[in-house]
Amino acid sequence: MAENIKKIECALISVFYKDGIDEIAAELTKNGTRLLSTGGTYDYLVQKGFKVEKVEDLTTYPSILGGRVKTLHPKVFGGILSRRDNAGDREQMVQYELPYIDLVIVDLYPFEEYVAKGASHQDIIEKIDIGGISLIRAAAKNYKDVVIVPCKECYSKLVECLKAHNGGTTEEERYSFAKHAFATSSNYDTHIFSYLNSDGEIPAFSQSILGSRSLRYGENPHQNATYFGSEDSLPRQLHGKEISYNNMLDIEAAIELISDFDSTAVAVIKHNNACGCAVRGTVLEAWKDALAGDPVSAFGGIIVTNGTIDKEVAEEINKIFFEVIIAPEYTPEALEILECKKNRIILERGNVQPSKMKFRSMLGGALMQERDTVAETPADLTVVTEKAPQESQIADLLFANRLVKHSKSNAIVLAKNGMLLASGIGQTSRVDALKQAIEKAHSFNFDLNGAVMASDAFFPFPDCVEIAHNAGITAVIHPGGSIRDAESVDYCNANGVAMVTTGKRHFKH
């Protein structure tokens, strides 16, 4: 692309956010640029001592309809859209006495902010920008001759350009600004549509996220990866190396899991599954029992808790190698201990919550679904056997059910006394998942007598409850719903095993 430097002779400035506009106005004024402005921006610039002309004086029309119409006029849009190398355009510019406008600085009403803060529908509708979005599109379309600055994030870039070219810009720079402009307008319109179409009447996959972060690599080192989203959507990183794609997946899995616990809990995540988890009276106790669940898999894992990490906890955690730790808070003494490993990623969760919706690319399209937010309570359990579970067993059943919900299907979880003993995950057969869990529990010398079993889906045959019973399991939780449920219930009744159903399957793929 040719350099094609064009000096800015006339600029239109009309912005909602005025911080930083002074420096731009000063640079433009220094280079003799004529300034046009509207409303609050005009008042602001005049108060700052700049020579500015009102757009109303150019158009001879005041701002009307409560400010809804200010810049929508041929004298404004003609000056922006005129092609400087087109003879016919130049003739009409003279004929209709239209000024050439070489720079447009405009941002948009804060529509997303009004939606986020729960404003009234009418207030939200009033924050749908019309003039601003039209100016952005017009200037961006004519990037060969016009510079468009569509948001405050582009202010510093414009100042750099003006200083580098004595009040001018290159075509390459104008093209870059135009891309920013259409990204801004596209994002804005997408959020408006999403708000108006919250009932899903119009079937459309419409998502727009402007912020991004390059990740160290993708699922494997030879794959590139990018996170799209606001930094506010992520836990605050206090220490450590750059976060990778796999770290991101584990961080999400960890936050989704810990969000299902009200009691003090610690979990260790490996490849999106919990390999250790416990609920206890203190974070230290929960950590020790979570680690005991599988000290081998915990190596290089992700630690997450809903309690404060203090010095004592940090000293214990620091005894093993782990990639990431997530907690709502750390004491200064704890941070000093944990930061001894320069690459260790330490995250402060803050107010970060799991996403409400899940998206996944699918061949030439995309899949979208609601996140599984069901977390069963005692009221959701239906006792289907003659023997009802005891109160302590109910607590273990619900604990195990929360874990199996966050485990890759087919999944089985074995638990006792608020501690994960073992799980079988990602198996093509539910029987294989159970056998895997039992073998793993025995490998760490756990006594399964009196333990409970949770399954993410129903049992199509009674083989699983028979295998579990023979291993020492005394209570079972599953969704139910198989046409052969009665066979599993009959086996439990014949062998003194308590069984409850939830009516909710928790597949995870």
Catalytic machinery residues: 141, 271
What SS3 class is residue 14?
strand
Sign of CA dihedral 156, 160, 166, 171: negative
Report the C-alpha gap between 356 and 354 in whole angstroms: 6
Under a CB-based contact definition with an 8 Å cutoff, are residues 345 and 240 in contact?
yes
3-state SS assignment for residue 104 = strand
Q: How many CB atoms lie under 10 A from the CB of residue 39?
A: 15
Q: What gap in Å lies between CA 477 and CA 415, rounded to an integer?
A: 11
Q: Which tokens is 194 given?
A: 């999403």
Distance (Å) of CA 214 to CA 228, 243, 277, 342: 9, 9, 31, 20
**What is the crossing angle of helices 74-81 and 131-141, to 10°?**
30
Task: Verify cis geometry, omega within 30 degrees of 0, for the bond prior to 470.
Answer: no
* Cβ-proximal residues to 108 (8 Å cutoff; 6+ apart), any chain: 16, 129, 132, 133, 136, 150, 151, 184, 188
Amino acid at 142: N
Query: Residue 123 corresponds to which amino acid?
Result: D
Residue 270 and residue 298 in contact, taking contact as beta carbons nearer than 8 Å:
yes
Helix (H) or strand (E) holding 265: strand 265-270
DSSP E strands, 345-487:
345-348, 357-362, 365-370, 382-383, 412-416, 419-424, 452-455, 475-478
Contact in structure between 316 and 287 (CB atoms under 8 Å): yes
